[in-house]
Amino acid sequence: MRGKVFLTSVFCVFLSGVPLSAQLPEPRLEPIVGARMPALSPDGSRIAFVYRGDIWIAPSAGGHAVPLTRHVAYDAYPLWSPDGKWIAFASVRNGNWDIFAIPVQGGAPIQLTFHAQNEIPSSWSRDGRFIYYSASYDSNNPAVVELEVATGKFRRVAEDYNAINSPQISPDGKTLIYGRYGFPWWRPRYTGSAAMQVWAINLQTNERRRLTNDQFQHLWTQWLPDGKTLLTVTVAEKTPDSPRLGERLPVFQDNARRTPNLWLIDVATGRKRQLTQFVGGAVRFPSVAYTTGDIAFEYEGHLYLLKARQRQPQKLSFFASQDDAQSMRQRELLTSGVEEAEPSPNDKQYAFRLRGDIWLIDVEKPKATPDKRNAEFAKRLTDWAGNDSDFVWSKDGKTLYFTSDRNYYQQVYALNLDTLEVKRLFDRPADVTRLKLSPDGKQLGFWVSGSDGGLFTLSLETGEVKKVLHEPGTHWYGLGGGDFAWSPDMRWLCVQRRAPYGAWNLWILPADGSGTPVNITRLNAFHGQPAWSPDGKYLFFFSNRAGSALYALPLTRETARRDDKDIQFEKPKEGEPLEVKIDFEDIDQRIRRWNNQAPQADLTVASDGKIYFISEGDIWQVSFDGSESKRLTSGGGHSALRVSEDAKKLYFIRNGELFVMNLAANNRIEKVEFKADFEFDAMALREAAFVQFWRAYERGFYDPSMHGRDWVAIRERYRPLLSGVGVPEELGMVLSMMVGELEGSHTEVSPRSSATVRSPNTPHLGFTIDYSHRGRGLKVADVPEGSPASFPDTRIYPGEYVLKINGEPVQANQRLWQLINDKGDRTFEFLVNRIPSEEGARVVRYKPLSSAEWGELHYRNRVNRLRKLVEERTNGQVGYVHIRAMGASDRERFEREFYEYAQGKKAMIIDVRFNGGGNIADSLVDWLERKPYAYYVPRDGLPNVGPPLAIDMPMVVLMNERSLSNGEMFPYAMRARKLATLIGWETPGYVIWTWSLSLVDGTEARMPQQGAYRIDGSNMENNGEKPDIAVWLSPEDWLSGRDPQLEKALEVLGRTIRAETHPPTQ
């Protein structure tokens, strides 16, 4: 195994380089790569940064760094106090991001925040009393919280309907600036309506001012010491991305204006001036020294320092070394968890995949205990930390052929079982999938991804590779080719192919690729798992063409109906050549529903003619003529069904364990016991996840030109950063930054958490807090309708004071969250009074809300308020519905609400603002463009419009910068079909069809594989939908309950209704 080889090689170097009596060689320290999130001390003399999951401190000029925190969970986002004695930071050690403070000289951190929401420190007040950060707490809006560090008291100082990022208090404490909305920081080149803009709010007057408005991202904005200038990371020129339909972008030429660099913003005028001139990469996480104005920042895995009044930044070198918080090499003894398995041709051994590696175990163990003890341990055949999979045995049982991504692509390899030597057989920058061995054992077949991809064969005798079917695509996630199977005589291939409209049909072509493929199933339905009968007379497969079932296709014309003829299997005679004859004329008309049981996987026709497959999670046997079916197992959980060559045994996986069924012994099932001594290197596993992620995008990203980026060069830039990864979250950051270079949406990465405990659950009290009250108790600001505190028996009125909760005195401080955390399933007892005194107080008892219930309550209240406003203002002539997202439940809700609220109306407003996306836009548009063409009238009844759900009325679609993905495609489609007028604000261009992606280390990611283009060929990705009438919704509008976008919709529809009611005279 790699780890053992590595240790041995190092030991040999020691022995060969020095006498045995000598000391160890001189330790060597190399400058670190991957230091992140620098934070300068107030005087600029020292710097804190994040490296391998902990916070370190070093001289700002570079040199030796010492660790300040030491925890298995991720510590990040350091921030010096103005007096230089403390560092605030965020940590996930309690399951979510909380704020801590630690003395600069080291020691135990002090936890400052306790809410279940994520809290990350953004800035200190210059007197060191307060820390500012983003959190909503009792509000339903994004907000800025001011925390008094000595007492834990907090108050909300600003709200918005869009995200508030990195709030920064001015040196004089009078002005707060923040990044409003914005796409993630790892997409710094994004351009569009969702780009983060810089806003300022006067804390004395609450007046807001937008400082930037150019559709470029402005990240990590902060004050310079003069209080008149801001530092930000932004660009001045859009980088090309998102090609038109059919277009391939060349690799773009970068320059300093396209590259995310440091810029200065004059607070008074909003004018910007570029400060750094990097080309390529991105400047990230700048930090300003409070007193000197020195600037530190991160660039391409290194930290830089730009001294005040200097023009050129200096690259810093740091040396940081310490023992790992936990062992990088780990061992486990595994007895289950098998993911793939193949029995050997002689039925004596079982090869199986476990944790991404291939193992080997004997099926039958020695009876004697000493020998059996050793035989129970599986032999590890591969030890690549990535993906070794999709393996098949050679005919002679001496070689395993498999696919692996050890060379950045999933390619074909041969493993000699005697020597364990691995040899690559197929060397091409593309991915291989569905590896199969031909019936004669002389060829491998597999799909190859890419625009020149398709079904390929590889001769094991000559090494010749041949494409037998051109089929471009990724060949995974249901895109591209599917199952395939050789005929018993090797003359034909049956291949599953996907049609443009989504159907999967079976095609037969000459196995050498010389002829034209013939569609043999010809129906807009699903067909798969082709399996030839050994006698070459039938092709069996699964389909839902006339209900999900087992189907059979006689390959030649039948001499009688199935009901008039006994169908019997005739086993081919050994030594006699078999020729498979196919009559292609009207071949699809001969398809027969063979047995009602539907094969779900592993359809196989055994050498004795019996048919086996997995269905309903169990193994089934069907007679050759389809007349009898039998369930051989129960309980489900079965997979990887294989039938022995003599048809006497079945091999399968059940719930991650290996089993054999002896068909000749009354179907007796025996477990194949194994013990796998699994040793792995956590660092190697992260590298394998990095390779897997890069490979997945190389194979599957919707645009083969990668938005005009050199994806290989990007890989080589980010791979060195792995040396700075110490916790899963840091790997997630590296992957996010790498994929962010593509400037594509739906590319989010979700790493495993390094936290060893779960996050607390903070319930909601059912009211908002009036933070103008700083004394005893909580002053109630607002009680929304539907809250427990709004009901007569449990009412708490706005303006009243909650003095105690469950017998404990409360205030707006962090102790409040500690008091109520993880108690949301209990009844709370509130001591309530009209004044902040217990005298005359009453007790109110109710169960608090969850955060989801609080959000749902506000959502329904807002939608109901807008619906009532529309109906009242239009005297019931206009209806209103809101579509929250584009999922199946949203489709059902839309159908129920729209056709209810549209009854008797002359116009409708469909609101998709704040819509998070999904995949139902096409269905909704199909419904909405139905036009009446008839009336259906029951006797003595009222006429019903035909077709059902048909409408014919003017409509407006409301949209904004928070309408995402399918929530952007819907308004575009409504306008393209001339069904609606679009009012609101431009959408962000967050539009790609996406799939999920799981990496070997447990990281989850998204995999966008299909683009969405307008009918004119323009790409919807990074190219938001513009409204017909642009109306801005300001933060003040939102907070005061005004809705100018809805007002404009009412104005437009009002004119339309009046025009239709009173048409102009001729």
Ordered by start, the domain boundaries in the chain are 36-246+258-319, 480-596, 768-849, 853-989+1024-1061
Q: Is the pLDDT assigned to residue 4 strictly greater than 70? A: no
Q: Which CATH number fits domain 36-246+258-319: 3.90.1310.10, 2.120.10.30, 3.10.130.10, 2.30.40.10?
A: 2.120.10.30
pLDDT exceeds 60 at position 782: yes
Distance CA 239, CA 190 (A): 8
Superfamily of domain 853-989+1024-1061: 2-enoyl-CoA Hydratase; Chain A, domain 1 (3.90.226.10)
| pLDDT band, very low/low/confident/very high, at 21 (cuts 50, 70, 90) | low
Residues 651-660 have pLDDT tens digits of 999 999 999 9
Judged by average pLDDT, the poorest of 68-72, 409-413, 499-503, 703-707 is 499-503
Interatomic CA distance for residues 397 and 403, integer angstroms: 17
User: How far apart, in whole angstroms, are the C-alpha atoms of residue 1065 and residue 984?
Assistant: 33
Fold of 768-849: Pdz3 Domain (2.30.42)
Distance CA 522, CA 589 (A): 9
Same fold: 36-246+258-319 with 768-849: no
Return mean pLDDT, the chain.
Answer: 94
CA angle 926, 931, 936 (to 5 degrees): 115
Share of the chain above pLDDT 70, in %: 97
Average pLDDT on 899-912 reads 96
Tokens 């404490």, residue located = 173
DSSP label at residue 792: G
- Whether 733 and 722 have beta carbons less than 8 Å apart is answered as no
Asked if 966 contacts 918 with a C-beta cutoff of 8 angstroms, the reply is yes
User: Within its chain, how far is the Cα of 86 from the centroid?
Assistant: 37
Can you give the length of the chain in residues?
A: 1066
Q: What integer is the mean pLDDT of 835-851?
A: 97
pLDDT at 559: 86
User: Six-digit token pair at 711?
Assistant: 């994806």
What's the one-letter identity of residue 628?
Answer: E
> CB atoms < 10 A from the CB of 29, how many?
9
What does the block give as tokens for 445?
Answer: 């077949």
Q: How far apart are CA 692 and CA 957, in angstroms?
A: 41
At 606-617, the pLDDT tens digits run 999 999 999 999
Question: What is the three-class DSSP state of 993?
Answer: strand
What is d(CA 594, CA 281) in angstroms, rounded to the nearest whole number?
A: 60
Q: Give the span between the Cα atoms of 338 and 350, in whole angstroms.
A: 11
Helix H or strand E segment including 338: none
Confidence of residue 1064 (pLDDT cuts 50, 70, 90): low
Residues 6+ apart with CB under 8 A from 487: 493, 494, 511, 532, 536, 580
Q: How many CA atoms lie within 13 A of 1028 on its CB side?
A: 18
Cβ neighbours of residue 977 closer than 8 Å, sequence gap 6 or more = 925, 929
Q: Answer whether residue 514 shows pLDDT above 50.
A: yes
Phi/psi of residue 1056, nearest 5 degrees: -65, -45
Instruction: Give the residue from 723, 711, 827 showing the smallest Cα distance to 328.
Output: 723
Residue whose pair of structure tokens reads 């080589």 in the numeric block: 716
pLDDT at 11 over 80: no
Shortest CA distance to 172 belongs to which of 211, 147, 203? 203
**Nearest-angstrom CA–CA distance, 511 and 492:** 5
> For position 501, what pLDDT does the model report?
84
Question: In angstroms, how far apart are the furthest CA atoms of the chain?
Answer: 113
- The pLDDT of residue 12 is 40
Name the DSSP letter for residue 120. Answer: -
Q: What average pLDDT does the segment 469-491 reach?
A: 92
Q: Is 557 helix (H, G, I), strand (E, B) or coil?
A: coil
pLDDT band per the 50, 70, 90 thresholds, residue 1066? low
Q: How far apart are CA 132 and CA 882, in angstroms?
A: 35
Tokens linked to 690: 């990095």
Residue 873 pLDDT exceeds 80:
yes
Whole-angstrom distance, CA of residue 970 vs CA of residue 806: 49
pLDDT at residue 1065, as a whole number: 58
CB neighbourhood size of 714 (10 A): 20
Instruction: Please write down the long-range contacts of 873-878, taking CB distance under 8 Å and 24 or more positions apart.
Output: 873/1050, 874/907, 874/1050, 874/1053, 874/1054, 874/1057, 876/904, 876/905, 877/905, 877/906, 877/907, 877/1057, 878/905, 878/906, 878/907, 878/908, 878/909, 878/1050, 878/1053, 878/1057
Classify burial at 655, counting beta carbons within 10 Å of its beta carbon; exposed 0-12, middle 13-18, buried 19 or more: middle
pLDDT at 22: 62
Over range 425-430, report the average pLDDT: 92
CA neighbor of 1026 nearest in space, from 959, 977, 955, 978 = 959
Going by pLDDT thresholds of 50, 70 and 90, the confidence category of residue 24 is confident
Give the containing element (helix H, strand E) for 655: none
Beta bridge pairs of residue 372: none
Question: Cα separations (Å) of 887 from 604, 748, 958?
Answer: 37, 19, 19
**CA nearest to 415, candidates 349, 351, 467:** 351
Residues 718-759 have pLDDT tens digits of 999 999 999 999 999 999 999 999 999 999 999 999 999 999
Rounded to the nearest 10 degrees, what angle do helices 728-740 and 711-718 cross at?
A: 150
954 has pLDDT over 60: yes
Q: What φ, ψ does residue 55 adopt, rounded to 5°? A: -105, 135
Residue 561 has pLDDT above 90, yes or no: no
- Whether 306 shows a pLDDT value over 90: the answer reads yes
Give the side-chain half-sphere CA count within 13 A for 64. Answer: 4
Measure the CA–CA gap between 600 and 969, rounded to whole angstroms: 34
Q: Say which CATH class 480-596 falls into.
A: mainly beta
What is the CA 814 to chain-centroid distance, rounded?
33
What is the model's pLDDT at position 14? 38
pLDDT tens for 598-645 read 999 999 999 999 999 999 999 999 999 999 999 999 999 999 999 999
Tokens (6 digits) for 58 = 């070093």
Per the CB < 8 A criterion, the answer to whether 444 and 436 are in contact is yes
Measured between alpha carbons, how far is 1009 from 701 in angstroms, rounded to an integer? 5
Identify the burial level of 869 via C-beta atoms within 10 angstroms of its C-beta, where 0-12 means exposed, 13-18 middle and 19 or more buried: middle
Task: With H, G, I as helix, E, B as strand and everything else as coil, classify residue 263.
Answer: strand
Mean pLDDT value across residues 362-376: 86
- Which residues are bridge partners to 1011 per DSSP? 992
pLDDT (average), residues 840-860: 97
Q: Distance (Å, rounded) from C-alpha 74 to C-alpha 78?
A: 12
As a whole number, mean pLDDT of residues 193-221 equals 96
pLDDT digits (tens, 9 = 90+) for 919-947: 999 999 999 999 999 999 999 999 988 99
**Hunting for tokens 């009209």 — which residue is that?**
834
